Structure formats: C-alpha cells, structure tokens
Amino acid sequence: MTKRKRPKKKVVTGRATMDDVESYLGKRADNMPSMVAWCGKLDGKVIGIGGYYRLAGRWHAFVDLRKRALIYKWEIAYLGMRALQHAKKSGIRYLYAELDSTHPGASAWLQRLGFHLDPRSLYLFRWRAKE
C-alpha cells in the first residue's frame, strides 16, 4: 500500500475578492458576471477559485484549479460544500455546472456534492437545495 503524499504547505482559504479573481485570471474582470466566490492561496498566490454566478436567468457553479491545487482535495471539497451552503442560505434553489472532462474524477466530485446529470440538457449537472 502506498502512502498518500501530504501537502508540505498549508493552503489558506476564504472568500475571494476582486483582486483575487483578477490575479487568478491574469486580467481585469470588468466584463464578468457578478459572482460569489471562494479561493485557495498558497504563498499568497491564488491556486484555485470556485463559487457561483447568475447568467441568463440561471445560477451556475464553477471551479477552476491550478495543477498545484489538486493535492489539497480536502480543502477543495470543504470549499465546495461551503459554497453550496451559502447558495442555499441565499435562497438559490438550483445550481448548474458543466463537467470538465479533462479532470479525472470531476463527475464523481460533482455527484458527491449532490449534483446529478440534468436529463433535459445531457451535459449540465444540476444541484437542488434540499428543503
């Protein structure tokens, strides 16, 4: 049995600011829809960001991670759950997410968070707030 690699450094997580979003994107975020987001920082640099935004009358969930963020699976899962709790408290009933098939395990992660393939679209996953 092989031992899992433990991260040597601690990632700092919290609500993302506009500066965090812009530093992650490498550009100004003037034309982006309003969003609620959380991020993870390592050595002061944003290595992952996720949350939700509203576009065309529908709430969308998103996550984007740098390669070096992938070893922080527990922190990523925690922030995902935190975002969903925040969405529910904000009165959001449904969130939609598009699967990134380049990330192995993305489908399983979405399903663990409570997303299910939306039969109407066949490519979007849908989360419904439990009442």
How do residues 8-23 score in pLDDT, each as one tens digit?
Answer: 788 999 999 999 999 9
Per-residue confidence band for 5, with pLDDT thresholds at 50, 70 and 90: low
Task: Work out the burial of residue 29: count CB atoms within 10 Å of its CB; fewer than 13 is exposed, 13-18 middle, 19 or more buried.
Answer: middle
- pLDDT exceeds cutoff 80 at 3: no
* pLDDT at residue number 103: 80
Mapped onto helix, strand or coil, the DSSP state of residue 117 is strand
Q: Among residues 19, 84, 74, 72, which one has the least CA distance to residue 48?
A: 72
DSSP 74-116: HHHHHHHHHHHHHHHHTT--EEEEE--TTSTTHHHHHHHTTEE
C-alpha 24/C-alpha 69 separation (Å) is: 13
Tell me the pTM.
0.85
Class of domain 12-128: alpha beta
DSSP 19-69: HHHHHHHTS--TTSPPEEEEEEEETTEEEEEEEEEEETTEEEEEEEE-GGG
Check residue 14 and report its DSSP letter: E
